[in-house]
Amino acid sequence: MQQSRTQCPSCPGCVSDSDCFPLAGLDTAACGSETPPLPQEGEASSHGCPNLTDRVKMRSTVMFYLCYLLCVAVGLACVACVCVWNSRWRGGFAWDGSGLQFNWHPVLMVTGLVVLYGYGAVLYRVPLTWGQNKLPWKLLHAALMLLSLILSVLGLCAVFDFHNAQKIANLYSLHSWIGIAAVALFAAQWTAGLAGFLLPCSPVWLRMLLKPVHVWLGGSILLLSVAACISGINEKLFFVLKANSSGGPYSSLPSEALLANSLGVLIVAFGLVVLKILSNTEWQRPESRPEGMAYTPLLQGEIE
Amino acid sequence: MQQSRTQCPSCPGCVSDSDCFPLAGLDTAACGSETPPLPQEGEASSHGCPNLTDRVKMRSTVMFYLCYLLCVAVGLACVACVCVWNSRWRGGFAWDGSGLQFNWHPVLMVTGLVVLYGYGAVLYRVPLTWGQNKLPWKLLHAALMLLSLILSVLGLCAVFDFHNAQKIANLYSLHSWIGIAAVALFAAQWTAGLAGFLLPCSPVWLRMLLKPVHVWLGGSILLLSVAACISGINEKLFFVLKANSSGGPYSSLPSEALLANSLGVLIVAFGLVVLKILSNTEWQRPESRPEGMAYTPLLQGEIE
């Protein structure tokens, strides 16, 4: 319901953009229990700030790109850390059933199930993609997720092969239960996403039912991945950093432990930044926002 | 913008509530790229379903209470599992610097930092509380979170005391880094929440800046708690279930390992249900929804 508007008490004389603090209009909340609605796009506000909405949007976009930059940077730092840890401290890589084959496991899981997965998850949030045909971005989202899934499955193959060659049991630890659940749900999510959102024959009602589940399960898989990575790094460091290790036991925090613990912190930070980007409704692609009920048919080259 | 409405093609003859599928109106999306907006509360829809909005709301409320029931049940199951694990398999409890003191650590952290924390976080989502004075619910939220914080700090004291008595180093593992970060952020969050939302002198603009940070940090602390719990249970089972253990090594999955692994799965499930409840905008207290910009002064006994 439209409220009557009065001159803003916080900046009564403002006549130009530079006079007015972007959120100044919201200070009128102090006068009562509600704030007046923000002016619609292109509509002049009551206190002489014609571009208030545009500036709020601009601020939101700048904040998004700062968060997105952080997401990309922290993701790259995760990949760099896990590669350095396993190449410098764990002896490098091979595919021969030895401990060097195991080293592919953390590298592939962190790169695939965490970083590439996170990059794919936030793709639709990039405002640059909103004014364009959605189909190429949808295909890129599916391709990034497929690459992420392939790397994750390869990461599982690495550890299963290593365990089988060394006659170590599979899938008994809590780490393995959480990790395998993450990959299984991810495979189911990708398949359902392909069937529901990319195949043109899927009905609209199915997409509408599937979409909130797809979005929620997407975040849930990331939470599982992060929990699996933290428990896996923790377990590995207890296994390998003993009193007779060259750098000393884990409890003396040798440089390997510092690096791998930092990798864990970076993974958690990456997960939090991705979940922040996913949960901010202002950063959702316009047709996906909760106040809009519009759903567009897919694979039809729609322009939004 | 109001669109012109036509007879719903999916149920052209419906005249009563029982004739019309609640989401049938949304099927018109199949005819074009957008669906017409849902009728406002109390407004009759164009296809003879006067209570469509009410029924969508009712369905949302029923779904909430099912989720809430699941949240409460899974939380109680977590507490039961962690108590049974430590009393039956780990020898019970004491506060004497022995391993029995350590047993308080998982019990207090799971009960405080996960279950009570989750219960406190979703409190505002209960629709039963929306039509009432917000202040008692705000105080209950703060009290639940304070109790959760106190239990978490006691849980940390249990493990620090045990480590000090046994001359074991503190805060070197990734589990401990993530866990201490969760409790430190929780303490900061509680203090900022008290200052920002309960003290009447805090300005409205501060609350508006603080609220999205408070909500996001709330979810982030839960993610940290879950990751810390999973890595902690995993680490503990590797420590105590050796080849010479009475039930056999961890890799043979003795009943203790099955119970503790199940506890880990329940903790993850609890975290996911809580995050689902928190992230669903339909289940947010009306004035907190993203489309509404209203903020009410706190500690003023407001009725909403």
pLDDT bin (cut points 50, 70, 90) of residue B288 is low
pLDDT, residue A130, reads 84
pLDDT digits (tens, 9 = 90+) for B113-128: 999 999 999 999 999 8
- For residue A72, pLDDT over 70 is answered with yes
A96, A147: one domain: yes
- Contact: A237, B174; criterion CB under 8 Å: yes
Mean per-residue pLDDT, A258-281: 96
Average pLDDT in the B153-164 region?
98
Residue with tokens 């106190």: B150
Q: Provide the residue type at A22 as one letter.
A: P
Token pair 């199930």 is found at: A113
B1 close to A (CB below 8 A): no
Which residues are CB-contacts of A251 (< 8 A; sequence separation ≥ 6)? B168, B169, B172
- Residues of A whose CB is below 8 A from B291: 290-291
| Mean pLDDT value across residues A45-51 | 54
Nearest CB partner across the interface for A302, out of B33, B35, B264: B33
**A243 is written with which tokens?**
């009193």
Show the tokens assigned to B294: 């209203």
pLDDT at A100 exceeding the cut of 60: yes
The complex scores an ipTM of: 0.82
Residues of B in contact with A35 (CB under 8 A): 293-295
The minimal CB distance from B223 to the residues A178, A261, A271 is found for A271
Kindly list the distances between the CA atom of residue B245 and the CA atoms of B231, B238, B260, in Å, as whole numbers in the listed order: 21, 11, 16
**A38 falls within a domain:** yes
Q: Is A41 on the interface with B (CB under 8 A)?
A: no
Q: Is the residue at A20 inside a domain? A: yes
Q: Identify whether residues A23 and A106 lie together within a single domain.
A: no
Handedness of CA A131, A135, A139, A145 (dihedral sign): positive
The domain tally of chain A equals 2
The verdict on A266 and A166 lying in the same domain is yes
Chain A residues closer than 8 Å to B272 by CB = 220, 223
A284 or B190, which is more confident: B190
Query: How many other CB atoms are found less than 10 A from the CB of residue A101?
Result: 19
Nearest CB to A268: which of B23, B227, B295? B227
A158 alpha carbon, distance to own chain's centre: 25
Average pLDDT over residues A147-175: 98
Is the separation of the CB atoms in A149 and A225 below 8 Å? no
Asked whether residue A209 is assigned to any structural domain, the reply reads yes
Structural domain contains residue B168 = yes
Please provide the DSSP assignment of chain A as one string: -PPP----TTSTT--SGGGS-TTGGGGGGGGSS-PPPPPPTTPPPTTS-TTHHHHHHHHHHHHHHHHHHHHHHHHHHHHHHHHHIIIIIS----SSSSHHHHTHHHHHIIIIIIIIHHHHHTGGG-GGGTTSBHHHHHHHHHHHHHHHHHHHHHHHHHHHHHHHHHTPPPS-SHHHHHHHHHHHHHHHHHHHHIIIIISTTS-HHHHHHHHHHHHHHHHHHHHHHHHHHHHHHHHHHHHH--TTSTT--GGG--HHHHHHHHHHHHHHHHHHHHHHHHH-GGGS-GGGSTT------SSS--B-
pLDDT surpasses 80 at A205: yes
Residue A21 sits in the same domain as residue A170: no
Nearest to A148 by CA among A114, A177, A182, A181: A114
- pLDDT value at residue A285: 85
pLDDT digits (tens, 9 = 90+) for B215-255: 999 999 999 999 999 999 999 999 999 999 889 999 999 99
Residue B26: its pLDDT value, please? Answer: 30
Q: Which of A81-95, B24-38, B54-68 has the highest mean pLDDT?
A: A81-95
Residue A273 C-alpha, separation from nearest chain B C-alpha, in angstroms? 10
How buried is residue A272: exposed, middle or buried, by Cβ count under 10 Å (0-12/13-18/19+)?
Answer: buried
% of chain A exceeding 90 in pLDDT: 68
pLDDT, tens digit (0-9, with 9 covering 90-100), for B70-120? 999 999 999 999 999 999 999 999 999 999 999 999 999 999 999 999 999
Q: Is B131 on the interface with A (CB under 8 A)?
A: no
What does the pLDDT read at residue A104? Answer: 98
| Pairwise CA distance, residues A8 & A26, whole Å | 9
Region of residue A248 (phi > 0: left; psi between -120 and 50: alpha; otherwise: beta): left
- Residue B291 to chain A, least CA–CA distance (Å): 7
* Mean pLDDT, all residues of chain A: 83
Stretch 169-208 of chain B: residues touching chain A, C-beta under 8 Å? 169, 172-175, 177-178, 181, 203-205, 208
Which residue type does A70 have? L
Mean pLDDT of chain B: 83
Residue B47: how many CB atoms within 10 A of its CB? Answer: 23
- What confidence score (pLDDT) does residue B9 get? 39
- A95 with A39, same domain: the answer is no
**What is the rounded distance in angstroms from the CA atom of residue B84 to the CA atom of residue B151?**
18
- Across B172-196, average pLDDT: 98
Residue B49 pLDDT grade (very low, low, confident, very high; cuts 50, 70, 90):
low
Interchain CB distance below 8 Å, A281 and B295: no
Output the six-digit token pair for B264.
């880990």
How far apart, in whole angstroms, are the C-alpha atoms of residue A203 and residue A210? 11
Same domain, A30 and A73: no
Average pLDDT over residues A40-54: 57
Looking at the partner chain, which of A174, A204, A216 has a beta carbon nearest the beta carbon of B230? A174
CB contact under 8 A, A178 and B37: no
Q: Are residues A8 and A132 located together in one domain of the fold?
A: no
User: Could you tell me which chain A residue has the CA closest to the CA of B225?
Assistant: A227
Residue A304 belongs to some domain of the structure: no
Is it the case that residue A9 has pLDDT exceeding 70?
no
A263 exposure class (CB count in 10 Å sphere: 0-12, 13-18, 19+): buried
- Min CA distance, B271 vs chain A (Å)? 9
pLDDT, tens digit (0-9, with 9 covering 90-100), for A272-291: 999 999 988 889 888 766 54
**Chain B closest-CA separation from residue A265 CA (Å):** 7
CB contact under 8 A, A29 and B295: yes
* Three-state secondary-structure class, residue B266: helix
Per-residue confidence (pLDDT) for residue B286, from 0 to 100: 83
The verdict on residue A204 lying in a domain is yes
Could you tell me the two tokens for B190? 């509680």
CATH number of the domain to which A171 belongs: 1.20.120.1770
Q: How many CB pairs under 8 A join A and B?
A: 184
Distance separating alpha carbons of residues B70 and A224, to the nearest angstrom:
19
pLDDT band of residue B50 (cuts 50, 70, 90) is low
Which pLDDT does position B131 carry in this prediction?
81
CA distance A74 to A90: 23
User: Residue B181: which pLDDT band, with cuts at 50, 70 and 90?
Assistant: very high
Q: What pLDDT does A288 receive? A: 65
Q: CB contact, 8 Å: B298 with chain A? A: no
* pLDDT top residue among B10 and A190: A190
Structural domain including A224 reads: 64-288
> How would residue B130 be classed by pLDDT, with cut points 50, 70 and 90?
confident
Predicted confidence at residue A129, as pLDDT, reads 82
| Minimal CA separation from B96 to chain A, in Å | 23
- pLDDT above 60: residue A76: yes
Question: Does residue A297 belong to the interface with chain B, where contact is any CB pair within 8 Å?
Answer: yes
Same domain as A4, residue A116: no
Residues B140-151 as b or e (16 or more Cβ within 10 Å = b): ebbebbebbbeb
B228: chain A residues, CB-CB within 8 Å: 230
> A295 lies in a domain?
no
A246 touches chain B (CB under 8 A): no
Residue B3 scores a pLDDT above 60: no
Residues A147 and A266 in one domain: yes
Q: Do B294 and A33 touch (CB under 8 A)?
A: yes
A230-250 pLDDT per residue, tens: 999 999 999 999 999 889 999
A191-A195-A196-A201 Cα dihedral, nearest 10 degrees: 180
- Residue A302 belongs to a domain: no
pLDDT given at position B10: 40
Rounding to the nearest 10 degrees, give the CA dihedral for residues B132, B135, B139, B144. 30
At residue B290, the pLDDT reads 56
